[in-house]
Structure 1
Amino acid sequence: MSKMSHINVIEKYDEHRDAIHHLLSSILSCFADAKMFEQNQQELSEQLKSLCDYYPFISLLYLLDAKGKQISMNVPGSYFKHSPQTGRGFDRSKRPYYLLAANSDSVVITEPYLSSVRRELCLSATIKMNNDDGTTKGYIVLDIDLAATISFLTGDSKRIHFDPYFKAVYSLIVVGLFSVALLLLYLAGKECWEVLQTLLSSEEGKLLPFGVVIYLTLALAIFDLGKTTLEEEVLLYKDILRHSSTRRTITRFIAAIIIAVSIEALLMIFKSALKESGEYIIQAVWIILAAGFLLLCMAVYVYLGSKAEALLLKRKNHKDS
């Protein structure tokens, strides 16, 4: 399963916006101290490290003077050590977080934006610190990794660490499925060559092509299963907390099975027609009925699942309003 795309992150942010803002406001309110403006870079790093032990989604800390000029280097969080320690002397007076904080005495939080340092969606939480005489001493800014914050709030942080292992296992399974599909394609090619060497006018020759079709059908079903597994579990992001993601995966797997079963029924009907004995016609009818029943069950599942999700969304919107 891949990481969240920017669209996924924005959607999740919209769902949990109030909780995220409340959390960040409480963190910065407790963490901010006017003494930080007298601390050196090492002291700031140690102080931020202690905060990151509890809140690992914090990516950067830096200080601004009263005019919005950065007076400290970027202090990276414990899990973002690759971030460059630059920034001192940069003019941040035009940035949204400075403009918002300049007109407020409480914590202000920006809307999501693309970080110029990490190239990931982030939020900036800023608080203005005043001198004893009421003048502005400066601003403390915390940059927050938005995707990591959402994972922290939804209890998904630990599972993310296992994602590479899950992907590796799924990738091995997909390689195995594709290998079997290639083997079946080879057997289909070999069978096709034998058909070309057989007298097609004989009764035996009429049935030989069905061996090729059977190999190709199995290869199609197995390849489609491997492709679905690769897309759903390795390449695409899947929100396991949202029922629509599970419904999408189940629907794709069931659809692949229905296609394979339907083709098998069609082959049995053709065999019966060629033999003119009706030997397989009853079995073919039962397989067609089974495929139709699977299709009906899938339709009911998709319909009920979408209705349930719509009701949950309606209830959530009603609570928010």
Structure 2
Amino acid sequence: MAAMSYLSVIERYHEYEATVHELMESILTGIADAELFKQPKVDVKAMKGIAKSYPFVELMYLLDGQGLQISQNIAVVDHQIELIPLGGNRDRSQRPYFINRDESDGVNITRPYLSNASGNLCLSASLAIYQQEQKLGYLVVDVDLTRLIEFMMGDSARRRVTPAFKAVYGVIVAGLFVLVTVLLWTALRDIYGLFTVERIGQDPLQPFGIIIFMTLALAIFDLGKTILEEEVLMHKDIFRHSSTRRTITRFVSTILIAISIEALLTMFKASLGEKQYIEPAIWMMLAVVGLLVGLGAYVYLGAKAEWLLIKTQAYKSAKK
């Protein structure tokens, strides 16, 4: 459950681009006021309201008609408003939101870009402010695109408790790795016992017990590795069926490998004269085939359902 990757953020932005622009327009329209230009600083009170309602807003400032910044930067850091005087008198006439200003008198919104300050993907939106048909300047708002996407999808609360989830998963994975260590130690001890003089040739099936321990260690390690990657290291988009399908596929694949090896070992035991293992080996092989067929059907039907869902959403968007 790591933070959204840049690729995921861009995909979501293109999916909801029209909605993102509508939200940005409503924010700027709501706070745009000629009174902002009559004060030496941007209205901090207005910015506090914006920061409380829209936690993805990062920065706000004013430009004159030539693109020169005439106000301090008002930044939102950890839900607190901070005045940053570094932006005053800075020439921003080459910024995309200023260059494209003549295309429309409404809100101009840039394409996603990497912020020099935070290194995150962000958007900048600007709106020309008039008083009695005289242009006073531009109001500019910068937003964190990742947090904007999370806000729109109702995922902000989960993001706040994600560190706690990661800690729990980390403890579980650590416990699994401890079990792997114990199993490997047991297997290595038995391997050493195979070479002692008094035990050579005593039990021809003893190596199979060692293989079982190592197979279990492999399966548990692969399970812990899957949990670590899926729930801690990688971003998991719970709103996409493909993410859940990927997790289930990896988990069932781990079980398939473990059962297949156990079935093969049981079959070997039967071939060495232990006839009572023939029926369990056959049932385990059938279980492997059933799991494999079920997994294939699940992956195919899940992918088809997601494709139909995407196609339906695209059709609805085209009709609008």
Name the TM tier (shorter chain): over 0.9
What is the match of residue 304 of structure 1?
A: 301
Residue of structure 1 aligned with 2:253, choices 232, 250, 255: 255
Listed one character per residue, the Cα deviations across residues 199-255 of structure 1 (whole Å, up to 9, x for unaligned) are 6863x4321111211110010000000000000000000110111100000010000
Q: 1:153 to 1:67 in 2, by over 3 A?
A: same
Number of equivalent positions = 317
* Alpha-carbon offset, residue 183 of structure 1: 1.1
Deviates more, 1:305-314 or 1:82-91: 82-91
CA distance in 1, matches of 2:265, 2:198: 21
Q: CA RMSD in A?
A: 1.7
CA distance in 2, matches of 1:213, 1:129: 75
What is the match of residue 285 of structure 2?
A: 288
What is the match of residue 95 of structure 1?
A: 95
CA distance in 1, matches of 2:38, 2:7: 40
CA distance in 2, matches of 1:198, 1:290: 40
What is the match of residue 135 of structure 2?
A: 136
CA distance in 1, matches of 2:81, 2:170: 28
SS of residue in 2 equivalent to 1:147: helix
Contact 1:123 1:145 in 2 (8 A): yes
CA distance in 1, matches of 2:303, 2:169: 28
What is the match of residue 246 of structure 1?
A: 244
Contact 2:74 2:81 in 1 (8 A): no
CA distance in 2, matches of 1:78, 1:145: 12
Q: 1:128 to 1:82 in 2, by over 3 A?
A: closer
Q: 1:15 to 1:83 in 2, by over 3 A?
A: farther
What is the match of residue 8 of structure 1?
A: 8
Q: 1:277 to 1:163 in 2, by over 3 A?
A: closer
The amino acid of 2:204's aligned partner reads K
Contact 1:59 1:79 in 2 (8 A): no
Residue of structure 2 aligned with 1:317, choices 306, 314, 317: 314
Q: 1:201 to 1:278 in 2, by over 3 A?
A: farther
Contact 1:9 1:147 in 2 (8 A): yes
Contact 2:194 2:200 in 1 (8 A): no
Deviates more, 1:97-106 or 1:75-84: 75-84
SS of residue in 2 equivalent to 1:35: helix
The amino acid of 2:168's aligned partner reads V
Contact 1:56 1:78 in 2 (8 A): no
What is the match of residue 59 of structure 1?
A: 58
Contact 1:56 1:79 in 2 (8 A): no
Is residue 267 of structure 1 aligned with residue 265 of structure 2?
yes
The amino acid of 2:158's aligned partner reads R
The amino acid of 2:30's aligned partner reads C
SS of residue in 2 equivalent to 1:229: helix
Deviates more, 1:165-174 or 1:108-117: 108-117
CA distance in 2, matches of 1:97, 1:153: 23
> Which runs of 5 or more structure 2 residues have no equivalent in the other structure?
none
CA distance in 2, matches of 1:7, 1:83: 31
Equivalent runs, 1:120-159 vs 2, <5 Å: 120-132=120-132, 134-159=133-158
Contact 2:31 2:46 in 1 (8 A): no
TM-score, length-scaled by structure 1: 0.94
The amino acid of 2:188's aligned partner reads G
CA distance in 1, matches of 2:275, 2:215: 22
The ranges of structure 1 where at least 4 consecutive aligned residues each deviate by more than 6 angstroms after the TM superposition are: none
Contact 2:52 2:79 in 1 (8 A): no
SS of residue in 2 equivalent to 1:60: strand
The amino acid of 2:62's aligned partner reads L
Deviates more, 1:102-111 or 1:248-257: 102-111
What is the match of residue 215 of structure 1?
A: 213
The amino acid of 2:43's aligned partner reads L
What is the match of residue 232 of structure 2?
A: 234
> Which runs of 5 or more structure 1 residues have no equivalent in the other structure?
none
What is the match of residue 119 of structure 1?
A: 119
The amino acid of 2:203's aligned partner reads G
* Alpha-carbon offset, residue 83 of structure 1: 8.0
The amino acid of 1:301's aligned partner reads Y
Q: 1:44 to 1:7 in 2, by over 3 A?
A: same
SS of residue in 2 equivalent to 1:205: coil
* Alpha-carbon offset, residue 184 of structure 1: 0.8
Is residue 182 of structure 1 aligned with residue 181 of structure 2?
yes
What is the match of residue 32 of structure 2?
A: 32
CA distance in 1, matches of 2:53, 2:307: 35
SS of residue in 1 equivalent to 2:124: strand
CA distance in 2, matches of 1:198, 1:48: 82
* Alpha-carbon offset, residue 130 of structure 1: 2.4
Q: 1:70 to 1:56 in 2, by over 3 A?
A: same
TM-score, length-scaled by structure 2: 0.95
